[in-house]
Each structure stands twice: as C-alpha cells, then as structure tokens.
C-alpha cells in the first residue's frame, strides 16, 4: 500500500526520469563521469569494467555517453541502453516476485527495475537543453579535454 501511494500512478517512472535528468545536470555526477571517461581514455587502465549498484542507470548513461563520443548514433545508443533489460529483469526477479507477492503493483516494479526509452530521452533532452548537444556536454558540462577525447577515439574505435 505504501509503495502504491509513493510510486503508483506513474510516479515511479517520473521519479526515475527526474533521476536521469539529475545525472546529466548535477556537478557531482559530472565529476564522476569525467573521471570515468578519463580512466577509459587511459590505455594502461584498459580493459575497463564499470558498474553501478543496479548496473543500468548510472552505468547506462556512462555507456551512452561513451558510445556517442565514439560516434555511435542515438538510435544505436538507444538499442544498447535497452538491451540491459533482460539481464536486470533476471537479476532482480526474486525481489520483484517478493514485492508482487506482497501485493505490489507490477507496473511500479517494472518502472524501477527496467530502463525505459523515456529515461534515456530525458537525459538526452537535458544534455541538449543545457549544453546544445553532446559536444557542449562533453566539453563544457564534463570538461573533458580534447586529448582525452582523442585517446578515447584512438583506443576504442576500430576502423576497418
């Protein structure tokens, strides 16, 4: 009943969409994503394994930004972002089942456990609104120097 009051009626999805917006706009998040990208750009640090608590939200945005820096289209990024859903559904199935057995709403569970296209779109919209797109976000929002971007592209893009 408490979960329904706090998260029902679409509020869980709203909460997660706002979380994605904050991941883009927060100075603390910017510092974390800058550190991630600087690490990924360091050839001595590769291969890089990155993960967050659930492996879908902060990790998903980090992967999205990295893929876009490397030249992936937003559609490719979207497909990659959503591809995590089968794994997170399986990983969190026991918790979801317990929630459902206690009378929890499946829509609330899905909004929390899954990633949604709307979550990524909210992050991309925030990036576009604040910085005019990826380039502004990376250079001004994250303050990634050009040499770091060059090392990322040189080390992680295979032209063939």
The domain locations on the chain are 2-156
Asked if 42 and 128 touch (Cβ cutoff 8 Å), the reply is no
Asked if 123 and 61 touch (Cβ cutoff 8 Å), the reply is yes
Residue 26 designated active-site: no
Report pLDDT digits (tens) over 96-152.
999 999 999 999 999 999 999 999 999 999 999 999 999 999 999 999 999 999 999
Asked if 59 and 52 touch (Cβ cutoff 8 Å), the reply is yes
Report pLDDT digits (tens) over 80-110.
999 999 999 999 999 999 999 999 999 999 9
CA 7-9-11 angle, 5° bins: 45
Mention every residue, 6+ apart, whose C-beta is less than 8 A from residue 8.
105, 107, 108
CATH class of 2-156: alpha beta
Catalytic residue (choose from 52, 83, 87, 100) = 52
């Amino acid at each position: 009943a408490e979960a329904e009051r706090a998260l029902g009626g679409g509020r869980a999805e709203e909460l997660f969409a706002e979380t994605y917006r904050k991941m883009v706009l927060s100075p603390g998040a910017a510092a974390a994503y800058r550190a991630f990208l600087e690490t990924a750009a360091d050839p001595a640090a590769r291969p890089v394994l990155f993960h967050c608590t659930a492996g879908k939200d902060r990790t998903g945005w980090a992967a999205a930004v990295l893929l876009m820096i490397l030249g992936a289209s937003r559609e490719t990024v979207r497909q990659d972002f959503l591809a995590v859903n089968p794994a997170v559904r399986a990983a969190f199935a026991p918790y979801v089942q317990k929630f459902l057995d206690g009378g929890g709403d499946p829509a609330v569970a899905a909004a929390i456990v899954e990633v949604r296209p709307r979550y990524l779109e909210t992050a991309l919209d925030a990036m576009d609104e604040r910085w005019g797109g990826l380039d502004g976000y990376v250079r001004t929002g994250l303050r990634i120097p050009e040499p770091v971007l060059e090392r990322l592209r040189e080390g992680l893009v295979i032209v063939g």
